[in-house]
Chain A
């Protein structure tokens, strides 16, 4: 039963990711006074790309052909270990947050290698920028995760969710800081404004698009789908770690339905907030990204310190 539910949850995750992308695009169009495409448009785009023939650049090696599958697989594996609808599923119990960060790093490594393998200047440029940003974002993310782990006494997501659910509504300074830090990191890692603009092909500013410029056809579809899943992954992480209320704690149909409704609502609100911030802020210069991410790191360090100073249980002498 648990295995089947895990499979279903992962499938739900993977197949609803384009819907979230469509929803955020729709909200963005509304905020910019444009006519919005249907929320199902990302599905149509993926299907269209899937039917087209992929073209391989002349100097590219097997790495270029293998990378889309590796990127997609590592992202789907990452999606499998994040509790989406229910807490008590198997993979969330065997793999912890550090494995999750590892899956992200694996996917990114192959993306960067494939970008450099394509042999164009843009690929190398995008790869170096991506690595710069991720080398700054990853410490901040891990620090935020460690803050959570220190509070919950576990790095396991499912147990940490149980801990947060059991202790009820507690105003934790460390969680507030970790939430801020994780939101900043999520914006940087999913390539949204102000760090990267997913809707541009302007060579001076693009990061993610520069890396996948040579991809076409079904490989491009896989990579696009993987980045939509990654976008949703960060949303689910933030929503379920800091506001876990509503997630299914047992495996009855009613609880699962309630879990689906809760996560859909949370993600809709989060995407709305993200898009609102995208509408309000301009994209920053690439050299300012360092300051942005070091602020995220500072927030997560302060989160950890405030856990130790303000929250930790202390023995009285």
Chain B
């Protein structure tokens, strides 16, 4: 099955899958926190667009609900929450620069190749057209993890965590036409609660160590002279 055998909708889903990977890479390289959150929001929009396209192609109306929830939660609500948090904590001018951007990008590229290699057997045994994108969704999950590993700012960790969730959601859409509605609602609620809890947690960290740099979390302030 090559791309020329698909109809335009299928091609558009694959194109959106490619763009979602690109947003993951952009997040990996972005050192300004407000822009990081903005790219995360764009990833949410692309995900919502891909989901609603899948709903149209496969004629699964409940995917429209998932798309709307993705757009509302990950495309609008959580980015706005994070932006307001950063403004209140005075983090919007903070830089979180990578020390070795080139090697992180190389690492990201090899993660994409790795996820392709891992998902090859899965793809080979299924006739689903959109399944090509499963490697992409796995790559988005791994790139989110890489984002969490390479950053020091807690806000970037939250964005990485949310983008892992984006990857899992995309995998569910392309592999099994979305999860059951109950599960999906549960996850959406979980993500929302996680965003609120993270917000509270930020204030706690900021109060206790006067910074959101997680490298300083392993210092015991009472022991040090």
Contact = CB atoms under 8 A, between A and B. Distances in A.
Interface in B1-50: 1-4, 8, 11-12, 14-15, 17-19, 21-22, 25, 29
A171 B124 contact: no
B78 interface: no
Q: Which of B11, B18, B21, B123 has the most CB of A within 10 A?
A: B18
How many chain B residues sit at the interface, stated as a range, is 20 to 34
A284 interface: no
Contacts of A177: 18, 22
B123 A170 contact: no
| Secondary structure call for the A interface | helix
| Secondary structure call for the B interface | helix
B25 A173 contact: no
Q: Which of A176, A291, A314, A317 has the most CB of B within 10 A?
A: A314
Interface stretch (A68-76, A103-111, A204-212, A298-306): A298-306
Contact of A314 (B1, B4, B101): B1
Given A170-B4, A305-B116, A310 B133 contact: yes
A294 interface: yes
B225 interface: no
Nearest to A311: B3
A261 B97 CA distance: 49
A311 B22 contact: no
Contacts of B18: 173-174, 176-177, 302, 306, 310
Contact of B2 (A171, A176, A305, A313): A313
21 contacts: A170-B4, A171-B14, A172-B11, A176-B19, A294-B102, A295-B29, A309-B116, A309-B132, A309-B135, A310-B3, A310-B14, A310-B17, A310-B18, A310-B136, A311-B14, A312-B2, A314-B124, A316-B1, A316-B124, A317-B124, A317-B125
